[in-house]
Structure 1
Amino acid sequence: MNIGIRLGAPVEPTIWTYERIRNTYGDITSYVKEYKNFAADDDANGPYYFLRALYDDAVDRDIVPNDVARAWLNYAREGMGMFWWGGYGISTEHTAYTNLKKGIPAPQSGSIEQNGSTIAEQIGGQIFIDTWGLVNPGNPQKAADFGEGAARVSHDGEGVHGARFFCAAISKAFETSHIEEIIEAGLAQIPSDSLYHGVARAVLAFHADHPDDFRACRDMLEREWGYDRYPGVCHMIPNAGVCILALIYGQGDFSRTVEIATMCGWDTDCNAGNVGTVLGVACGLDGIPDKYRKPINDGIVMSGISGYLNILDIPTYAKELAILGYRLAKEPCPPALADSFSESETYFDFELPGSTHNIRVSDPFFVRVQHSTEKAYRGTGSLEVLFDRMTRGEQSKIFYKPFYTRDDFSDERYSPTFAPRAYSGQSVSMKIYLDQWNGNETMGIAPYVRLAKSKQDLLQGYVKLVNQEWLEVEFQIPDTEGDLVDEVGIVLESYSLAKYKSLGRIFIDEFRIHGKADYTIDFGKQQVNFGCVTPFAHNHGAWSIVNKSLYLMTAEPCEAYTGPYFAKDYEVELTLNPQHGDTHLVAVRAQGAQRGYHAGFDGSGQISLYLNNFGYSKLASVPYAWQFNQDYAFQVSVRGEEIILSVNGEEILRHQDATFGYGMFGLSTQGAARTYASQIRFTEL
């Protein structure tokens, strides 16, 4: 899916027309643009975040539209990221989100009755649903039903037919690689008198008569099914035609299918992404060439409200989808699969074919990484690192990137924000095997982390490797003194003299970042990236860095979140200086914009604890004479069902509630306010 998105995104309309793509790039056979890292995209955001309805609401039953609607409201930052905020009545997703916010429930929020057919039948119903097909393998009808339930939050009519078609096609692709069978399985899940069915049959009939000329078929779509006939910004029907065209003319070849979808124009990244999912399943990894897979390097980013969840490791997510598939099929999950996945820590076992888990190198001249099945500490896979003719003092870093800043991206697509996946206090461990072929001294390594703002490497001491042996390497991430960690790994160094040159390989396996975080945030070492102050994701309000403090000015309720998403018991300490407004709150165990606890100053002379569960309700309140323009040392701790708020070392409020057992932390206010926050410390208990 993400190969298709990355291929099609650089030539999206409206600037890039079909003719301009053809005249500029001709026959596309590879990516047309290089990226430092490919930024977030709505086509990936929706399938990733809306699937969380299976964790939050539909835990032991099939989904209904309202489950997915709650995911929309909980994981999106209003007006930023996630999808195109093109205006009410223009962007289907913006329209549906606004309807939900105003109390119009799903599926009414996306209905033709509510929004009219033009808005309801745009392409979004098709592009946000791939994962519902992936978690229902070999069951096209169930996949289509789940896809429809999700799509009805924002779409209706032909928009829903697109969801049903692609979920069924993805599901069927687990059983067969025959593209005609896959297409027919998708069409079997939509009405035969629908426009979607009609455009599909038109393309299939044209292909039967002209099997070698996809451009002639694209010309037919322009004449008979083009944008001029279907109003709106990006209607479902013309793009459905392109998808069927790409599938049938691609004839089961992954590369050719996503390339044709891109060359046909219209909604290039959406169409190439959708057909990429179908062909990715049908062809398997062996059918995906390195020229497309390697630049992805097993990593993508998102732009939801959790900066922690926004950093996605694809092999780990593939395991998560498989585990969900077993759950939905009501079948026992194989223990080996269940044990290889952890949502609350970083764990790379390199077991999946070709997996690299987004491990990178600083100097590709000396070092190259690839997946290997030759050596493994456990299981069958590892990461092979070739070092080529290195001499004394020459180094290369091999590392995982647990945090990103704006400088890591070429553009600002969909405004991703990030919270690190590695913190002071946590442990990093890995197994390393040396297979050295040449050199008069064996290679050495130094574990390290890099600081995001200063770019300083914190080395943990050099270790000499032992040839033909596995070595366990473990270290604790040191105190970063308020900076963030954006690299975790090892420095590989040669000790051999120049005339000998070190040549050989190391194998890395069982890479983990785990344990309890204990870190501070120094705003003198933070940046404003993508409209947010690192490492927070802001939802409403104007946030900035003033005098080494996080400064908020807002005329409306707002919040900012950061930290490990799955943290359970922890303590947040910070200095809060209220300047104006009635509420100045600290959020804990927040699972998004609509789920969490908020404690702090609440009106004149009062401290309160609120539960936010798709609406705020007050759990407890006590008198407290607080004043503006004074520093207050806040400490909020959550342990089990107990929530405790202390101010200036004195316990002020203690309450028990079992609604939420984990989540992020942050700051919030329920109305107009100005606030300074500084000296933040987060400690897992």
Structure 2
Amino acid sequence: MMIPNDYLEKVYASILAMNAGIRLGAPVEPPEWTAEMIQDVFGDITDYVKDYNVFSADDDANGPIFFIRSLLDHAKDRKLEPQDVAKTWLNYLREGLGMIWWGGDQISTEHTAYLNLKNGITAHRSGSIEQNGEILAEQIGGQIFIDSFGLIFPNNPERAAEYAEIAASVSHDRNGIYGARFIAACIALAFGKSDVHEIIQEALKQIPEESTYTKVVHAVMEFHKNNPDDFRACRQFLEDEWGYDKYGGVCHIIPNAGLCILALLYGEGDVSRTIEIATMCGWDTDCNAGTVGSIVGALNGIDGIAPNYRKPINDSIVASSVSGYLNIVDLPTFAKQVALLGYREANKEAPAELVKSYKEKEIYFDFTLPGSTHGFRTSYPFKTFLRNSENKGYTTSGSLEIIVFRMYQGDLSTVFYRTFYRRNLFMDEKYSPTFAPTAYSGQTVSMKVRIERLHGKAIVLTPYIRTTSDKKIIKTAEPIIGNNIWQTIEFTIPDTNGDLIEEVGLMIHSDSSRTKRAFGKIFLDEFRIYGKPSYEIDFNKQVVEFKCVTPFAHQRGNWTIEEDKMVMESDEDCSSYTGHYYMEDAIIEAKITPEKGNSHGILFRSLGTEQFYYAGFEANNKVAIGLKNFDTTVLASTDFKWQHGELYHLKVKAIDNNLSLYINDEHLLTVQDDTFQHGMWGLYAFEGGKCSYNNLKVN
């Protein structure tokens, strides 16, 4: 099938429109918000109904971001299988926290499926009617997590539907799967069609003609044909004939499928109107508005997304997997990742400019996608205004354009990329996002800048970082002054003495007088954060937020801070994860005091909760280095007399394929293994118990 010339831009547009729909619908998702109440309070919706500083993680966005990692981690050179997606669930989800709705076994479809997988029931049995019953298997989740599979197969609805079914079968069955197939096909078709009616008709070919899903689609299409101007009448028709009272469970797919078709038809392909109608109709508003947003976003492209819906997203969302690093999501970068998978799955060579534009293992922003900002913000929008410049880049057409207004001596603005998020930025704790910084001491920051002074004295740029505990600005290089030439700013991030870094950016100021204030433009391009981290974590500078000790994501257990230590207590297997997801060679150190339990130590090169190396104490006065790759294998062990209540200095070295363990500076074990080449690091207690940790260092 033909990959269109504007493929990347349409992928980006679909992702933006999906997230606009999710953000629009989320505030009125709770069941207390009926369609009548939404109309009474908000009337005819034409913009976001709530302002967010930062919109919290949402399961509708988590799924499309993380479930395609089954193609990155497992099905790299073969066809996708249900168990690949099942492994992705097990590896990136933290049990009971974030990512999906943990509404209870036999209440939440996804929670039930996760427990099935955890208990050894493989996919697709894990989501089947035979295992979970018809009502649970036909809830809405089947169609809200699969957007990316539609994006990966542009103009190929058959493959899109096939892969969406594979993914959805982990947790859903029958109409739950038909919804996945249908929506993925719609998204794939949107790359080549120009009309929503044609998209719907073609997508129906991917699901059984006799299915309830097909019947509700036809019912809405027929109603629209006879009543093309009144979406509220169609909403009432759905309430009467296909409503929640006729389908069991918390959020059945059939009524919401009807609303998706309603929004597509009455929205007439317009992005704004389609997500607005989906929201005004109630029921599962964020799911439905996000789903139809994906379709009409791909249909219309970037120009079809209105500024009032695009600008607040600012290219940046947060997720809630076990990887705090991956949870800080840059949408242009994610769009490039999806597009590269699309070329891979089509056995096509990706364009050279796309390959060059995506650097998996570092932060890299080149502003080449139209209108992209890569999440940059300003502290003083009254004096510094940000937008994308589509005609002035360092080597390409795009850059971040910073317009400086009437700045004089004493004014100071910062323009920055946020590298870490704190709880105070959010209005709620929806889906419990957790974060590990995307910038660390020892790494290199590089960017290209060009200053164009239009009036007043020189505009001065000073690169900086900001720490998160004390909010301290640390200047990282000498100020630069320039006029109409591209310059490179590059610096090594300094030691932050155990604090985390939440901003990397530029301070902007001028010595202009009040009578001759500075006007000008700054162009920023090829922003990079790369290289080897070297840092420590001081628990005096950490807090418990989103049910986790910063900057960790916990898998089970109770983790708290006591004075200068992190303390774990658990009656079951537990672990904790942080760090750069693509960190390779490293020396990781921790001082730990095991109080209870026979298994304590450091985990490293972790891809998730089921894939990592570990090194530390075992029962019967042993220490070991092991591998967890869904099953656990001890790679080497030796005798070492240790006891509860004693303080030990553990050090792990992972250099190339050589993995070594030191305790109190004594070299005890070295093994060779090449299963994992990079990953997060953290701490574990396979039998639970109690343990305290401090003096954590990474080099």
Map of 2:44 onto structure 1: 27
Q: How far apart are 1:490 and its partner, in Å?
A: 0.5
Aligned partners of 1:50, 1:638: CA distance in 2, in Å? 28
CA 1:468/1:635 → structure 2, altered by over 3 Å: closer, same or farther?
A: same
CA 1:461/1:334 → structure 2, altered by over 3 Å: closer, same or farther?
A: closer
1:282 lines up with 2:269 in the alignment: no
Q: What code does the residue aligned with 1:534 have? A: T
Partner SS for 2:697: strand
Map of 1:552 onto structure 2: 568
1:376 lines up with 2:409 in the alignment: no
Aligned partners of 2:68, 2:194: CA distance in 1, in Å? 26
Q: What code does the residue aligned with 2:452 have? A: D
Greater alpha carbon shift after TM alignment, 289-298 vs 52-61: 52-61
Q: What code does the residue aligned with 1:192 have? A: E
Pick the aligned partner of 2:165 from 148, 165, 179.
Answer: 148
Map of 1:170 onto structure 2: 187
1:124 lines up with 2:150 in the alignment: no
Map of 1:3 onto structure 2: 20
Matches within 5 A, 1:189-200: 189-200=206-217
Q: How far apart are 1:547 and its partner, in Å?
A: 2.1
Pick the aligned partner of 2:60 from 43, 55, 58.
Answer: 43
Deviation readout 1:514-547 (Å, 9 max, x if unpaired): 1111011000100101000000000000000112
Deviation readout 1:16-40 (Å, 9 max, x if unpaired): 1111111111110000001110000
Matches within 5 A, 1:390-409: 390-409=407-426
Q: What code does the residue aligned with 1:393 have? A: G
Structure 1's consecutive aligned runs of 4 or more residues displaced over 6 angstroms after TM superposition are none
Q: Is the 8 A contact 1:465 1:471 kept in 2?
A: no
Q: What code does the residue aligned with 1:424 have? A: S
1:310 lines up with 2:317 in the alignment: no
Q: Is the 8 A contact 1:586 1:668 kept in 2?
A: yes
Aligned partners of 2:296, 2:62: CA distance in 1, in Å? 20
Aligned partners of 1:31, 1:497: CA distance in 2, in Å? 40
1:367 lines up with 2:384 in the alignment: yes
Aligned partners of 2:565, 2:207: CA distance in 1, in Å? 55
Pick the aligned partner of 2:310 from 293, 303, 310.
Answer: 293
Pick the aligned partner of 1:489 from 488, 505, 529.
Answer: 505
1:253 lines up with 2:270 in the alignment: yes
Partner SS for 1:617: strand
Greater alpha carbon shift after TM alignment, 618-627 vs 120-129: 618-627
Aligned partners of 1:48, 1:663: CA distance in 2, in Å? 18
Q: How far apart are 1:123 and its partner, in Å?
A: 0.2
Aligned partners of 1:108, 1:573: CA distance in 2, in Å? 42
Partner SS for 1:39: coil
Q: TM-score, normalised by structure 1?
A: 0.99
Map of 1:541 onto structure 2: 557
Pick the aligned partner of 1:565 from 570, 576, 581.
Answer: 581
Q: How far apart are 1:461 and its partner, in Å?
A: 4.5
Matches within 5 A, 1:453-492: 453-492=469-508
Map of 1:411 onto structure 2: 428
Q: Is the 8 A contact 1:588 1:598 kept in 2?
A: yes
Map of 1:433 onto structure 2: 450
Q: Is the 8 A contact 1:444 1:462 kept in 2?
A: no
Q: What code does the residue aligned with 2:668 have? A: I
Map of 2:540 onto structure 1: 524
Q: What code does the residue aligned with 2:623 have? A: I
Partner SS for 2:245: coil
Deviation readout 1:652-674 (Å, 9 max, x if unpaired): 11011111111110000111311
Aligned partners of 1:653, 1:392: CA distance in 2, in Å? 61
Query: RMSD across aligned C-alpha pairs, in angstroms?
Result: 0.8
Map of 1:625 onto structure 2: 641
Q: What code does the residue aligned with 1:521 have? A: I
1:579 lines up with 2:595 in the alignment: yes
Pick the aligned partner of 1:103 from 98, 120, 138.
Answer: 120
Deviation readout 1:190-229 (Å, 9 max, x if unpaired): 0111111000000000111110000000000000000010
Q: What code does the residue aligned with 2:102 have? A: W
Identity across the alignment (%): 52
Q: Is the 8 A contact 1:442 1:464 kept in 2?
A: no
Partner SS for 1:13: coil
Deviation readout 1:395-438 (Å, 9 max, x if unpaired): 10000001001111111110000000000001111111111110
Deviation readout 1:318-348 (Å, 9 max, x if unpaired): 1111100000000111122111111110000
Q: TM-score, normalised by structure 2?
A: 0.97
Partner SS for 1:658: coil
Q: What code does the residue aligned with 1:32 have? A: V
Q: Is the 8 A contact 1:634 1:647 kept in 2?
A: yes
Q: How far apart are 1:89 and its partner, in Å?
A: 0.5
Pick the aligned partner of 2:403 from 366, 386, 396.
Answer: 386
Q: What code does the residue aligned with 1:314 have? A: L
1:506 lines up with 2:522 in the alignment: yes
Q: How far apart are 1:46 and its partner, in Å?
A: 1.1
1:604 lines up with 2:638 in the alignment: no
Map of 2:197 onto structure 1: 180
Aligned partners of 1:461, 1:652: CA distance in 2, in Å? 42
Deviation readout 1:137-165 (Å, 9 max, x if unpaired): 11000000000000000000100000000
Q: How far apart are 1:378 and its partner, in Å?
A: 1.1
Map of 2:94 onto structure 1: 77
Q: How far apart are 1:460 and its partner, in Å?
A: 2.4
Q: What is the total number of aligned residue pairs between the two structures?
A: 682
Map of 1:231 onto structure 2: 248
Q: What code does the residue aligned with 1:93 have? A: E
1:657 lines up with 2:676 in the alignment: no
1:269 lines up with 2:282 in the alignment: no
Partner SS for 2:462: strand
Deviation readout 1:103-156 (Å, 9 max, x if unpaired): 111000000111110000000001010000011111000000000000000000
Map of 1:209 onto structure 2: 226
Deviation readout 1:441-484 (Å, 9 max, x if unpaired): 21101100000111000012442321111111111110000000
Q: Is the 8 A contact 2:557 2:688 kept in 1?
A: no
Q: Is the 8 A contact 2:536 2:697 kept in 1?
A: yes
Q: Is the 8 A contact 2:592 2:692 kept in 1?
A: yes
Q: How far apart are 1:6 and its partner, in Å?
A: 0.2
Q: Is the 8 A contact 1:387 1:502 kept in 2?
A: yes
Map of 1:160 onto structure 2: 177
- Structure 1, unaligned stretches of length 5 or more? none
Partner SS for 2:261: helix
Deviation readout 1:274-313 (Å, 9 max, x if unpaired): 0000011001000001000000000000000000000000
Partner SS for 1:228: helix
Aligned partners of 2:124, 2:557: CA distance in 1, in Å? 30
Q: Is the 8 A contact 1:63 1:146 kept in 2?
A: yes
Partner SS for 2:350: coil
Q: Is the 8 A contact 2:477 2:491 kept in 1?
A: no
Q: Is the 8 A contact 1:353 1:371 kept in 2?
A: yes
Map of 2:106 onto structure 1: 89
Q: Is the 8 A contact 2:414 2:507 kept in 1?
A: yes
Q: What code does the residue aligned with 1:465 have? A: I
Partner SS for 2:21: helix
Q: What code does the residue aligned with 1:224 have? A: E
Aligned partners of 2:360, 2:550: CA distance in 1, in Å? 23
Aligned partners of 2:129, 2:392: CA distance in 1, in Å? 57
Aligned partners of 1:535, 1:491: CA distance in 2, in Å? 26
Aligned partners of 1:518, 1:177: CA distance in 2, in Å? 52
Q: How far apart are 1:64 and its partner, in Å?
A: 1.2
Pick the aligned partner of 1:333 from 347, 350, 361.
Answer: 350
Greater alpha carbon shift after TM alignment, 167-176 vs 463-472: 463-472
- Structure 2, unaligned stretches of length 5 or more? 1-17
Q: How far apart are 1:374 and its partner, in Å?
A: 2.8
Aligned partners of 2:85, 2:398: CA distance in 1, in Å? 36
Q: How far apart are 1:254 and its partner, in Å?
A: 0.4
Aligned partners of 1:672, 1:522: CA distance in 2, in Å? 24
1:642 lines up with 2:658 in the alignment: yes
Q: What code does the residue aligned with 1:120 have? A: A
